[in-house]
């Protein structure tokens, strides 16, 4: 199928100025310009966004959820990184 | 109307409507320049700010205090990175930013040119310096430049831990032996005034304030933010049972704020202009750390090239 020779792009949309782009899905396209147009047609038919990013899926390096235990392990035993770890008397607790 | 005027009008419309300006938007050259100056200065402060506290890492009095301090210093590096990333969206490179810090053309908060003479200084810094920074950063969460505002939201979330661990340490010292209490008082005396100076010169003297307020880069004036900090700190000093470093501090019924003594502005400008206790040392240390780390960057580059050549050979 011709579709299989097309490139897979991940689509990210900024719904409103000031917010981060958020992943919404993907499209197949010949190039990034076309991917942008397809993403517009597919994901913003009801004014869902003010800005679209498309990124080739193969360019995304992702962490593996199966490895998450050892991957995130170093922060598991550091509760002192959280503000709530420090118990302050009521009179000065608003900091 | 020229096209430039139209762009400017559209830009101001967004600013007035409280919309954020995003990296690919048109923006006046001076807005971009102003942002690069302010955000990079903010980032440099985080990076140089690691040094005074890092000074005590190997001498922390317990494993718990050491782990906490290590985490805090690590956070400062992270905050520096968030801010450098936000600055890079404006079209300037990391290498240019670092060069400007090292040659002195970019500034950082002058508070970090004060030495950390005792362990109590680490507590005072968390409490007062990070406390003052938060007052400023909460306000900057509403800054008009999107990437800067988002970096501030992230930083404010993490900053509360810094203040609380500092104040907790001050409680321990203030309720400890007379010698420990004296350390706490001495640290408070030395860091209170420089912390107030972190908010910058009076509004009437501030070179960038008026336009920054108009463009909503800054949302509150130096003096208003400083007043907030003065007000919130009085009760915190009282709770510790320490003496307020400002003999003139007095509640003003009419304004609903505390009035205090005037800051030593000669000292402020002297430190900013390079004559603080540690200005030269801070930059020398940064340059040395950067140069001593060069072999790591070179090794990484060599490894990447080797991998690339390997892949190339396999393909051929």
Q: Select from B164, B231, B232, B235 the residue whose CB has the most chain A CBs within 10 Å, as the one to mutate to test that interface.
A: B164
- Nearest chain B alpha carbon to A20: B150
Phi, psi of B177 (to 5 degrees): -70, 165
B175 touching A, CB under 8 A?
no
* Cα–Cα distance for residue pair A44/A11, rounded to 1 Å: 11
pLDDT-derived band at A72 (thresholds 50, 70, 90) equals confident
For A26, residues 6+ apart whose C-beta sits below 8 A from its C-beta are: A8, A9, A10, A11, A57
Q: Which two tokens stand for residue B3?
A: 């096209």
* Tens digit of each residue's pLDDT (9 = 90 or more) over B198-220: 999 998 888 778 889 999 999 99
Which residue among B21, B71, B165 places its CB closest to the CB of A78?
B71
B95 touching A, CB under 8 A?
no
Taking an 8 Å cut-off on Cβ atoms, the answer to whether B22 and A14 are in contact is yes
pLDDT tens string, chain B, 316 residues long: the values are: 789 999 999 999 999 999 999 999 999 999 999 999 999 999 999 999 999 999 999 999 999 999 999 999 999 999 999 999 999 999 999 999 999 999 999 999 999 999 999 999 999 999 999 999 999 999 999 999 999 999 999 999 899 999 999 999 999 999 999 999 999 999 999 999 999 999 999 988 887 788 899 999 999 999 999 999 999 999 999 999 999 999 999 999 999 999 999 999 999 999 999 999 999 999 999 999 999 999 999 999 999 999 999 988 888 7
Q: Which residues from chain A sit within 8 angstroms of residue B236, using beta carbons?
A: 92, 95
Q: Is the pLDDT of residue A4 over 80?
A: no
* Cα–Cα distance for residue pair B141/B149, rounded to 1 Å: 5
Q: Is the pLDDT of residue A2 over 70?
A: no
Residues 193 through 252 of chain B touching chain A, CB cutoff 8 Å: 232, 235-236, 239
Q: Where are the alpha helices (DSSP H) in B141-240?
A: 146-174, 178-197, 209-214, 222-240
Taking an 8 Å cut-off on Cβ atoms, the answer to whether B146 and A18 are in contact is yes
Taking an 8 Å cut-off on Cβ atoms, the answer to whether A80 and B235 are in contact is no
3-state secondary structure of A26: strand
Phi, psi of B134 (to 5 degrees): -65, -45
Distance from CA of B19 to the nearest CA of A (A): 6
Q: Which residues from chain B sit within 8 angstroms of residue A91, using beta carbons?
A: 235, 239
Amino acid B62: pLDDT: 96
Q: What is the ipTM of this complex?
A: 0.82
Nearest to B166 by CA among B118, B131, B117, B115: B131
Residues composing chain B? 316
* Cα–Cα distance for residue pair B117/B111, rounded to 1 Å: 14
Overall average pLDDT of the A66-90 stretch:
86
- How are beta strands B250-252 and B257-259 bridged, if at all? antiparallel
Beta carbons within 10 angstroms of residue B14's beta carbon: 18
Distance from CA of A66 to the nearest CA of B (A): 26
């Amino acid at each position: 199928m011709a579709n299989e020779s097309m490139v897979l792009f991940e689509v990210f949309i900024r719904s409103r100025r000031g917010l981060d782009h958020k992943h919404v899905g993907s499209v197949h396209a010949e190039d990034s310009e076309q991917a942008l147009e397809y993403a517009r047609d597919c994901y913003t038919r009801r004014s869902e966004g003010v800005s679209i990013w498309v990124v080739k899926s193969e360019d995304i390096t992702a962490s593996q959820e199966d490895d998450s235990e050892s991957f995130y392990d170093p922060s598991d035993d550091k509760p002192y990184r959280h503000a709530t770890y420090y118990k302050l008397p009521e009179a000065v607790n608003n900091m | 109307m020229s096209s430039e005027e139209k762009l400017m009008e559209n830009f101001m419309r967004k600013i007035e409507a409280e919309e954020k300006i995003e990296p690919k938007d048109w923006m006046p050259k001076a807005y971009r320049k102003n942002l690069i100056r302010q955000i990079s200065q903010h980032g440099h402060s985080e990076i140089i700010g690691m040094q005074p506290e890092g000074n005590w890492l190997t001498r922390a009095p317990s494993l718990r205090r050491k782990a906490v301090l290590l985490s805090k210093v690590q956070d400062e590096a992270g905050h520096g990175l968030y801010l450098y990333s936000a600055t890079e969206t404006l079209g300037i490179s990391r290498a240019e930013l670092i060069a400007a810090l090292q040659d002195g053309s970019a500034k950082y908060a002058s508070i970090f040119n004060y030495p950390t003479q005792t362990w109590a200084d680490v507590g005072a810094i968390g409490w007062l310096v990070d406390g003052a920074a938060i007052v400023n950063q909460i306000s900057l969460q509403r800054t008009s430049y999107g990437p800067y505002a988002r970096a501030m939201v992230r930083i404010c979330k993490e900053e509360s831990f810094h203040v609380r661990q500092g104040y907790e340490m001050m409680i321990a010292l203030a309720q400890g032996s007379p010698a420990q209490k004296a350390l706490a008082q001495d640290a408070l005396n030395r860091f209170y005034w420089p912390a107030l100076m972190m908010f910058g010169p009076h509004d009437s003297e501030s070179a960038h304030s008026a336009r920054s307020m108009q463009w909503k880069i800054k949302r509150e004036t130096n003096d208003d933010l400083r007043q907030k900090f003065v007000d919130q700190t009085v009760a915190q000093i009282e709770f510790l049972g320490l003496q307020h470093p400002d003999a003139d501090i007095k509640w003003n019924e009419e304004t609903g704020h505390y009035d205090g003594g005037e800051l030593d502005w000669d000292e402020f400008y002297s430190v900013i202009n390079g004559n603080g206790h540690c200005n030269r040392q801070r930059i020398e240390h940064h340059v040395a750390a950067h140069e001593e780390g060069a072999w790591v960057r070179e090794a990484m580059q060599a490894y990447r090239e080797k991998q690339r050549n390997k892949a190339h050979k396999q393909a051929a």
